[in-house]
A and B are shown apart, each in its own frame.
Chain A
Amino acid sequence: MTKERLKNQFFNVVKNPFNMIVFFSLIILFCLIVIPLLQMIASTFTAAKSEIRRIGGQPGDFTLYYWRYILLSNMAESTLWEPLKNSLIVGLFTVLVSVPLGSVLGWLIVRSDIPGKKLLGMLVVIPYMIPSWCKALSWLAVFRNERSGALGFLAGLGMRIPDWLAYGPIAIVLCMSLHYYAFSYINVSSALRSINSELEEMGEICGATKPQILKSITLPLVLPSILSSVIMTLSKSIGTYGVAANLGNRIGYYTLATKMKVFISDGPRNVGYAMSLVLIALAALIIFSNQRIIGVRKSYATIGGKGGRSTEMKLGKAKKPLMAFLVLFLVLAMVMPMFVLVMETFQITTGNGYGPNNLTLYNWIGTVDQAQKYTSYPGIFQNSEFGRSLWNTVRLTFIASIVTALCGQFLGYISTRGRGKWYGSLTEQLVFIPYLMSGVAFSTMYFAMFSRPHLGGLIPSLYGTFTLIVLTSVVKHFPFASRSGTANMMQISTELEEAATINGASFWQRMRRIVLPLAKNGFVSGFMLTFISIAKELDLIIIMMDKKTQTMSYLAFTYSQEGYNQMADAISVCVLFFILVCYIVANRFGADIGKSW
């Protein structure tokens, strides 16, 4: 009897293809996420060849040298504590600016009677479409001063731009705020949409004034989503590289992310790894404390079965000033940077005005012999480097986003069908880990893991290969791709599959004829969102790039670091164009940009 039972049990598990899929997915997730993390942790305790003279012993020996270096040595102040302080300050102020900004925007667009809502609703997310490093470049285009040789727009008008405005923390905070406001905007506006306006109307009937209603009814209801935006903004801004590097490095202002990159490029590399572990720990701490604090009261059941009607709140006299505020926001966050950025690409000398004698098409289509100033680069459309980076960008975004979106649907299927079972929650937790890591930290980890062969050459060294960049992009985007996959799969009720089972369909028949056709639309929008997100990416892949594998983002970044501002701008404009086209296409497919982080 027991023998038969064991036999049956074994076949029950093995014969079900779903079990096998879960099994292999878990193994793959383990290899792609858990092992690299452990490996990186291990390497911070292992003596590397390059430091062997200082540490003594053999390469590969256990050592506390690297941790002592960043925590206790006389270098600790400049290596860890100063950048950590800078990161926290920048993160904190970014939260202070971006969360109120995003929340007010969300409220205005969803709840008030501001005119032209539909258009405004679309325009308000466009600044988020602009990659944050692009914003940094346009900030420089406006505020650059004589320190970097080429004048910016304002300095060109004869204004004296002090260093503290052009570079450093203020510039970084403002640039990031004009990017991460989107988190609060999207969170708060979707929370507001789900609140039944009868709750507010009841307040009005009880005789409360509008500010009273806002303060004691609306605000408490959206507070959970505001808090979670605070957490997201904080953890993201602490780990952001591109903005901090563009605006801070020139004056020696380093954050954890930028300092880490210095160590990873110039060594000792293991110090960089240790720092990235600090970053991961910090992000994990922030996110888990968030779950502790607001996890319990995360959602008021605001979506009742009845009356989802939403009435708008009359702004009355405040309408005009608020309109002005919105227009100002759009001008500052979108129109002006874009205008200056685009115009700078046509200038011979930046900051020299837009007179006909200062305009040129050289940066776009010029060849080296036409150059009016000393430069070794032809205009970007004449430059084979640009062509290659464009090709790399397209190739990377296409391959990575297709793979990511597919995996996302797959993981989503496993976690929805395994909801409440051990493998479902394990999948969800594993997939969530990359979310804790800032882009630079994550790619550092992969860089460490795959820069040498494993399993006796079964996994070859991927150092400097395009494959590694694709792999990194794919795994880093797992959390959000699987979230969109989960949302998609949730819509396909299990009963639809069960009905097919009853009718005799096997697992693969069910997949092919029921799940896939129904998941199609969700797949397309998940794909488009990943696509945009990867196209924008700089932080994640900057560590791995070289001349052969570089994307447009990376090329713009290097040009900017080398002082070729106009060409960096021209490439940014191309990236922007690329992303905006994708955004419009994605919108056509009904993709919700609110899910794209």
Chain B
Amino acid sequence: MSRIELKNINKYYGDNHVLKDLTLTIEDGDFMTLLGPSGCGKTTTLRVISGLERPQGGVMLIDGKEAINAEKAFYLEPSKRGLNLVFQSYALWPHMTVFENIAFGLKIQKLPKAETEKRVRDALRMMRIDEYEKRYPNELSGGQQQRVAIARAVASNPRLLLLDEPLSNLDARLRIDMRSELLRLHRDLGTTIIYVTHDQVEALTMSTRIALFKAGELSQVSTPVELYMNPVDLQAADFIGNPRINFLEGRAQTEADGLRVFSPLGEHLFPKKDMTEEPIPKGEFPVVVAVRPEQIRIETRETPGCLPVTVYANQPAGSETLVSLQAGKSDFLAKQLGLVHYQINQQLYVHIPPEKINIYCAETTRLIKRARADDESLPA
């Protein structure tokens, strides 16, 4: 229940410029994920918001009130920002029981004993760890410790909850469970959440909005669907999606009714309304054609508008099958649901809906033609 505005935040560690003029607004009630590879500044951003780090430049407002003004060397204390933080390592105090861990902040605030106890019990119940209140952290499993850490953070009724890669220490199954827990928590509390992760699946499944980081700068801020369907540049496209998006080299030319593209996938004319506002070179210019593996439909018989391909390798994996295909000298990967067995070197035909194709300018690496999102749900 808090709106965060970061304006031109600059943070240096020595000569290392970690955050470069970062400007980002997080709306009240958002589940905002800061996504990016390690070392791109997302955790630093979180720590700046929490008050544990002091940026050398920029302004931060919480609900319109100044929390950071670097020019005036003003930094509001972390405890006065109405937020709480879940650390990647959980940072549970090993010499306190679960109960004491959760009650610590409330005791510091000098809340009445009865109120403290009630809040701790509520937090315990919400995270379904009531039975462990007398245990010490090292007597709990990783997943239980995680729950204690979250319970400790929510017990103080923060208006803003910060989570720093909270699931990275859990095994794959627990991670899926905790994802749904967090989603419910966000709905039940209505708190603004800022969530740091390098895991795109976490970002795509939980967030209302995603801020994609690249070397201390934001490369894209958008909804998960938009980020998946239309990454703004080649790097973002390459980062989002598993298996990776296919890149194929092609050439393009602007025409009166749109963009004509020649590529190993054949010749396409993309309508004007799908074009972005990025500047486009004049005449013929190189482009990169990007196709998500799951958008490629494989047929065994030739149909109109399809592309003949041969099978290079076939990887059935239970719920899905990855097929490496070759068209001329180009390789690309297709993903099919369910178990399918193709022979190596088998002749197949693929159908690729043109409205699902992204086109990037090879020179600027920026997106120039968008893919249209129909009411399709996101692939897992």
Binding site for B on A (CB under 8 A): 1, 4-6, 8-9, 12, 493, 495-496, 498-505, 509, 513-514, 517-518
Contact = CB atoms under 8 A, between A and B. Distances in A.
B78 A502 contact: yes
A499 B91 contact: yes
A498 B52 contact: yes
Given A495-B89, A503-B104, A518 B94 contact: yes
Please report whether the interface of chain A is mostly helix, strand, loop or mixed according to DSSP: helix
Interface residues of B, number: 25
Contacts of A498: 52, 85, 87, 91
Contact of A503 (B51, B73, B94, B105): B105
A517 B95 contact: yes
Contacts of B156: 503
Interface string B62-89: 0000000001111100110001110101
A571 B38 CA distance: 63
Contact of A4 (B72, B78, B85, B89): B72
Nearest to A4: B72
A495 to B, nearest CB: 4
B288 to A, nearest CB: 38
A501 to B, nearest CB: 5
B108 A505 contact: yes
Interface in B217-254: none
Given A5-B71, A498-B87, 9 more contacts: A9-B73, A12-B75, A495-B87, A495-B91, A500-B104, A501-B78, A505-B79, A517-B95, A518-B95
Contacts, number: 66
12 contacts: A4-B74, A5-B73, A9-B73, A495-B87, A498-B52, A502-B85, A502-B105, A503-B152, A504-B79, A505-B105, A509-B108, A518-B93
A503 B89 CA distance: 16
B142 to A, nearest CB: 16
B346 interface: no
Given A1-B72, A12-B73, A501 B91 contact: no
A517 B109 CA distance: 21
Contacts of B105: 502-505
Contacts of A9: 73
B10 interface: no
Contacts of B71: 1, 5
B97 to A, nearest CB: 13
B146 interface: no
Contacts of A495: 87, 89, 91
Interface string B38-62: 0000000000001110000000000
Contacts of A514: 93
Contacts of A5: 71-73
A502 B50 contact: yes
Contact of A496 (B51, B85, B93, B108): B93
Nearest to B95: A517
Given A4-B72, A5-B71, A501 B79 contact: yes
A49 B94 CA distance: 62
Interface string B95-112: 100000000110011000
A415 B284 CA distance: 61
A502 B95 contact: no
Interface in B276-319: none
Contacts of A12: 73, 75
Contacts of B108: 503-505, 509
Contacts of A500: 93, 104
A1 B74 CA distance: 11
Contact of A499 (B73, B93, B95): B93
